[in-house]
Amino acid sequence: MKAEHDIDSIEKVWTLAKSVRIAMLTLHDGDGMSARPMYSLIPDDWEAVWFITDRDSPKIAEAAHHVDALLTYSMGEHGDHLVMTGRLTVVEDRVKLRALWGGGADLYFPKGPDDPSAVLLRFEPFLAEYWKRGGAGAIRLMFQYAKAKLTGTPAKPIDHGRVAL
């Protein structure tokens, strides 16, 4: 499937990412791949996804050795899914860190945005793929299951796209 470039598809990607907030960040860890849940901080400029993390975290070393990363968002109860491919960089910027502070960061960094162990990760996506069922819910999924069984026709995503960002 060829990647789309239209603004409506790009808006769908960012709206979905903002609505889910928790993403699985997948990086190369030296032995293969490693994934962990991360709270997404997404400014309105649609340029990057930001994360606040501990500078001693293994993901900092992983990002330094392999910049390619994958973000996966899923709202399974609604049937919405998003995968973003991009590059990850460590950013030492206290002004930006203060501007992005939130999302429960105080739980991990009780000294606040001036905590010396807090650092930013910037994920710059260049490709996204989404699947939206638009609030499928249990009743709609049961209907699609029954329809597939009766007709022999598999269910398809209501809205699917591959977007160049």
Summarize pLDDT for 106-133 with one digit per residue, the tens: 999 999 999 999 999 999 999 999 988 7
Mean pLDDT of the chain: 88
- Where in the chain are the domains? 7-164
What is the reported pLDDT for 31? 85
Q: Which architecture, in CATH terms, is 7-164?
A: Roll (2.30)
Average pLDDT over residues 35-41: 95
What is the reported pLDDT for 75? 85
Strand extents, DSSP E, 41-154:
49-54, 68-75, 80-91, 118-132
**Quick one: pLDDT band at residue 2, thresholds 50, 70, 90?**
low
Q: Cβ neighbours of residue 106 under 8 Å, at least 6 residues apart?
A: 112
pTM of the model: 0.84
- The closest of 138, 160, 28, 154 to 82, measured between CA atoms, is 160
What is the reported pLDDT for 162? 92
